[in-house]
Homo-oligomer: A and B are copies of this chain.
């Protein structure tokens, strides 16, 4: 009754297993009947006994048959399989799928979600996006002031396709099969070093640049060079939730320091912190947007030199400043190798590239090389090679200009719309840079109220609570309003609707 096919990729044991299971389900094998003995079936099918045994033992472990020494394999009643199923929950059971949905891991109507996602926000504001949240309350969102994403259709698909084809033709045949340089492709690192030198004054050799799969994993790797059993990480509060999460997940203690606000509290806090590492965002404090002045930058460096510590300078948003000329990066001012510089391509090309980089001071570079001696490159070669050409052929420079222009317009439109429609009823925190601003309600309503009111009208704004280490903080009434993903033409009508949601009489 059982046959095997050597020409399919399904393993032989699995072919036998599937057929026996079918025979049990369709009643050909009744409960209590015996399976064909291993030796006999192996001879009939001209295969190894191990293969038949593997099939029978898998059937046993799943409760379809039982085996007793000397009496072979006996088919169990199908009811038994069900009781067994309680310990092996069926991965398509309603119960399991409900849990997945409640945890926000996989919604049952995932196809629906996917197609809803593909309904992009558009400037007519007519087509809405369905947001499936864990509590199953779906609301159509017409205006999404999210942070981090870029605008739909803004990815340079045509150029990327062309460069991918070029790279695969010219270099793909040999390189795509090797583990690449584990610190990153040299050509790409040279392009980045050059860009950083001109744009941020970063002083480094390309060898000091380590290509990584995103800010979080790069920080995760970097923390490997430190010791969670004794090293403390200082971090501005409020700060980026993604970074707080990585530091905690790596079992390091976080020492919160205040954000710069015109005095030296931040420096004093660092001297009191006993920190070995400080995580900073000097050119655009996340989420407050403050720019650290030169004098404070120099004091920061003095602290690092005196206390023999390192500063992680996350320059995630250097590209975007609208009224102000950028200051030199901390790394540019550092002449004692205390700064670890971090940059990303997420904000100017696409977050889905999953590509950022660290610039390591020499001591940490050598330590990284030693610690990750047996580790491979973390970013696909193809992405690195295409990005290298993208930079080398001048597309990056053009892209930067274009994105700066687009976002400057959006920034001004957003500020003007807020002033026009909300006037003095809100406090706006911005520093002429970045891809978001914070809006505080002067009536003092807290952010979950503000977010819910907005959602009622089909507008998404975002919480800032997650940026704080504690629930007790002075910015309960501030929400984050991002403008990188929303089209310029949608901004004013979105803000008008938001004003209506918050301040309608």
User: Measuring CB to CB, which residues of chain A are less than 8 angstroms from any residue of chain B?
Assistant: 9-14, 17, 47-48, 50-51, 53-54, 57-58, 61-63, 84, 87-89, 91-92, 96-97, 99-100, 103-106, 110, 114, 117-118, 120, 148-155, 157-158, 160-161, 164-165, 168-169, 171-180, 183, 186, 198-201, 203-208, 213-214, 216-217, 220-221, 224, 227-229, 241-242, 244-246, 249-251, 293-295, 298, 301, 324-328, 332-336, 350-355, 362, 365-366, 369-383, 397, 400-401, 466, 485
Contact = CB atoms under 8 A, between A and B. Distances in A.
A324 B49 CA distance: 11
A58 B380 contact: no
A211 B326 CA distance: 38
23 contacts: A11-B199, A11-B201, A11-B325, A47-B325, A48-B324, A53-B294, A63-B335, A88-B203, A91-B205, A103-B370, A105-B207, A106-B205, A106-B207, A118-B175, A152-B177, A153-B173, A157-B168, A164-B165, A165-B165, A176-B350, A177-B351, A216-B375, A229-B251
A335 B217 contact: no
B203 A91 contact: yes
A326 B171 CA distance: 36
Nearest to A12: B325
B352 A201 contact: no
B362 A380 contact: no
A393 to B, nearest CB: 16
A244 B373 CA distance: 11
A187 to B, nearest CB: 8
Given A54-B328, A155-B172, 10 more contacts: A9-B401, A51-B325, A84-B335, A91-B205, A105-B207, A157-B173, A176-B350, A217-B217, A220-B220, A224-B250
Given A246-B375, A350-B176, A355 B380 contact: yes
Contacts of A295: 57
Contacts of A217: 213, 217, 378
A198 B12 CA distance: 11
B9 A352 contact: no
B378 A205 contact: no
Given A13-B326, A110-B186, A369 B88 contact: no
A224 B177 CA distance: 30
Nearest to A54: B327
Contacts of A114: 186
A89 B208 CA distance: 13
A469 to B, nearest CB: 13
B152 A174 contact: yes
Contacts of A229: 229, 251
B205 A177 contact: no
B397 A148 contact: no
Nearest to A204: B91
Query: Considering residues A120, A213, A365, A383, which has the most beta carbons from chain B within 10 angstroms of its beta carbon?
Result: A213
Given A50-B325, A105-B207, A149 B120 contact: no
A82 B48 CA distance: 76
Contacts of A200: 11
Nearest to A149: B178
A95 to B, nearest CB: 11
B207 A351 contact: no
A151 B174 CA distance: 8
Given A179-B352, A213-B378, A214-B376, A57 B298 contact: yes
Give me the 3 closest cross-chain CB pairs, A-B, nearest first: A106-B207, A352-B381, A155-B176
B333 A57 contact: yes
Contact of A214 (B327, B378, B397): B378
A192 to B, nearest CB: 14
Contacts of A373: 245
B294 A336 contact: no
Given A155-B176, A242-B374, A11 B326 contact: yes
Nearest to A243: B374
Nearest to A207: B106
Contact of A14 (B161, B201, B214): B201
A134 to B, nearest CB: 11
Contacts of A179: 148-149, 351-352
B118 A174 contact: yes
Contacts of A103: 366, 369-370
Query: Considering residues A13, A118, A325, which has the most beta carbons from chain B within 10 angstroms of its beta carbon?
Result: A325
